[in-house]
Amino acid sequence: MTPFGERVRAMRAERGLTLKDMADALGVSSAYLSALEHGKRGRPSWPLLQAIIQYFNVIWDEADELQRLAELSAPRSVIDTAGLSPQATAFANRLAGEIAQLSEEEIASLDAILDAARKRRSGPAA
């Protein structure tokens, strides 16, 4: 399941909505919507994302969060290491090979390392 799919599924459950009702309202098949929720389909298109935001009647921060989650939800990622160091290429390939065996805690730790690195690169807030 992708971050976007997990959130959409939770929003449906919170509102007591069925997959079929939501799919019918959005003009997609329930099979497609299920595949989107479970990460078996790529990110939603921009028009579909906007339709989902309207369907749930969310605005501002919650709409931005859905868009952010959609951007993070490509179920098959490709890392282009062309022009990077051999160490970067080896790391990318190792991560691809081992990610399925990592625990949620280990993934969260690696995510925190990347967040800290981004903050260091962006410098102090103005």
What is the model's pLDDT at position 125?
A: 58
Q: What is the pLDDT of residue 18?
A: 95
Tell which CATH architecture fits domain 3-71: Orthogonal Bundle (1.10)
Residue 19 · residue 33 · CB < 8 Å = yes
Q: For every one of its 126 residues, what pLDDT tens digit does the chain have, with 9 covering 90 and above?
A: 888 999 999 999 999 999 999 999 999 999 999 999 998 887 899 999 999 999 999 988 999 999 989 988 877 788 899 999 999 999 999 999 999 999 999 999 999 999 999 999 987 754
- Say if pTM beats, i.e. exceeds, 0.95: no
The whole-number pLDDT of residue 76 equals 77
pLDDT at 47: 95
The predicted structure's pLDDT at residue 39: 84
As given in the structure block, the two tokens for residue 76 are 């098959």
Q: Is the Cβ–Cβ distance between 40 and 75 less than 8 Å?
A: yes
Domain boundaries, the chain: 3-71, 86-122
> 11 burial class (0-12, 13-18, 19+ CB within 10 angstroms)?
middle
